[in-house]
A = this chain, B = another copy of it.
Amino acid sequence: MSGAVALDHLTKRYRLDPGKKVALDEIPTDDKAGWSKDDARPATAKLWKRLLERQEVLAATDTHALLIVLQAMDAGGKDSTIRHLSRGLSVGEAEVAAFKAPTDVERAHDFLWRVHRRVPPLGKIGIFNRSHYEDVLVVRVKELVPKAVWKARYEQINAFEALLASANVHIVKIFLHISKAYQTKRLKRRLDLPEKHWKLTADDLRERKRWDEYQRAYADALERCSTEAAPWYVVPAEHRWFRDLLVARIVVERLEALGLEYPPPTIDPKDVVLE
C-alpha cells in the first residue's frame, strides 16, 4: 500500500474541474494510483457495504436522489461496472435506464424528453447506461443532425442537469476510459468465448473505425459539461478492480456528503401499546 493514493484523495484526481481543458490521451487508461488488486478488493467490498447503508437512508428520507450517468466506448465495461456496483445496491431502491437508438415515439420529442422520464425519483439511486450524452457523441460522429443542432446541446444539457440538481437529484457522471488496444483485446475475447459471441455486433466493428472522432467528441462533451453541480469523472477502466474501487468511492462520497439521517418517527414510540 506504500505509495498508493489514499481513498480520501482518490476521486479528486479523476474529477474534471469545470472549465479545465480535457486531453483524453494524456489521461492513462491503465492507471491504478499505486493500488494493488489485493488491497483494492477488500476496500471496495467495504465501500459497497457503506453504499448499501446510504441507499437505505436515502430511501427512508425520500428527500434526495442520486443519478449516476455512465458512458464509455464499446467494450469499455458499462454492463460489468453496473453488475459489480450492484453488490452495494438493493434492486428495490435502484433503477437502471439503458438508452439505445431512440424509438419512433422518442424521436418525435426533443432529445431530453426520454431521459427526463427516467430520472430517479427522490429516495432512489438511478443509473443511466448511456444517456443524453449520446446526442453529442454518436449523433455528432455520424452526423445525424446538423452541427448547429448538436452544438447547442451542451448548454441545453447543462441547464437540464442544473434543473435536476435544484430538485435534489444529485448527479455524478462517469466516463470509463479505455485505449483502442484494450478495446481490441476485449473484442477478441468476445470472438474467443462462445458465450460472448452474441455481444459482438457488426455495429461495434463499424463504430470502431471512428475511434479518433469519438475521442474528440468525448473530450468536448466532458469539457463543456463538467459542472460544479454535475461533475464528470474520467475513470481509468482497464484494471477492472481499480475501476470498481473508484466508482464505488465516487458514489459513496457523493451520498455521504449529503449527511442524511433516518427520519424522525411519525408517531411517538412511547405512545404505542402492542397487544
Is the pair B82, A90 in contact by a Cβ cutoff of 8 Å? yes
Q: Is the interface of A mostly helix, strand, loop or mixed?
A: helix
In the complex, the answer to whether A269 meets B191 with C-beta atoms within 8 Å is: yes
For the complex, what is the distance from the CA of A91 to the CA of B128, rounded to whole Å?
11
Closest CB in chain B relative to A50 CB, distance in Å = 15
Kindly state the separation between the CA atoms of A213 and B12 in the bound complex, as whole angstroms: 57
Which chain B positions have C-beta within 8 A of A116? none
Residue of B nearest to A57 (CB): B195
CB under 8 Å from chain B, chain A span 168-211: 184, 187-188, 191, 194-202, 205, 208
Q: Is the CB of A262 within 8 A of B197?
A: yes
Alpha-carbon gap, A266 to B206, bound state (A): 14
Q: Tell me the minimal C-beta distance from A84 to chain B in angstroms.
A: 9
A127 at the A/B interface (Cβ < 8 Å)?
Answer: yes
A80 to B30 Cα, complex, angstroms? 38
Contact: B266 with A198, CB < 8 Å? yes
CA gap between A274 and B92 in the complex, in Å = 41
Interface string of A69-100 (1 = CB under 8 A from B): 00000000001001101110111111110100
Interface residues of A (CB under 8 A from B): 52, 60, 79, 82-83, 85-87, 89-96, 98, 127, 129, 184, 187-188, 191, 194-202, 205, 208, 262-267, 269, 272, 274
A191 to B273, CA, bound (A): 10
Contact in complex: A90, B86 (CB < 8 Å): yes
**23 A-B interface contacts by CB (under 8 A):** A52-B83, A82-B92, A86-B86, A86-B89, A86-B90, A89-B91, A91-B91, A91-B94, A93-B96, A184-B274, A187-B272, A188-B274, A191-B269, A191-B272, A191-B274, A194-B262, A195-B262, A200-B265, A200-B266, A200-B267, A201-B267, A205-B272, A208-B274
Most chain B Cβ neighbours within 10 Å, of A90, A92, A129 = A92
The residue from B60, B92, B264, B266 contacting A129, defined by CB atoms under 8 A apart: B92
| With A86-B89, A272-B205: A197-B96 Cβ-Cβ less than 8 Å | no
What is the bound-complex CA distance between A263 and B195, given in angstroms?
8
Known: A82-B91, A91-B95, A91-B127. 17 other contacts (CB 8 A): A60-B199, A85-B91, A86-B89, A86-B90, A87-B87, A91-B94, A91-B96, A92-B129, A93-B96, A197-B264, A198-B263, A198-B264, A200-B267, A202-B266, A205-B267, A205-B274, A208-B274
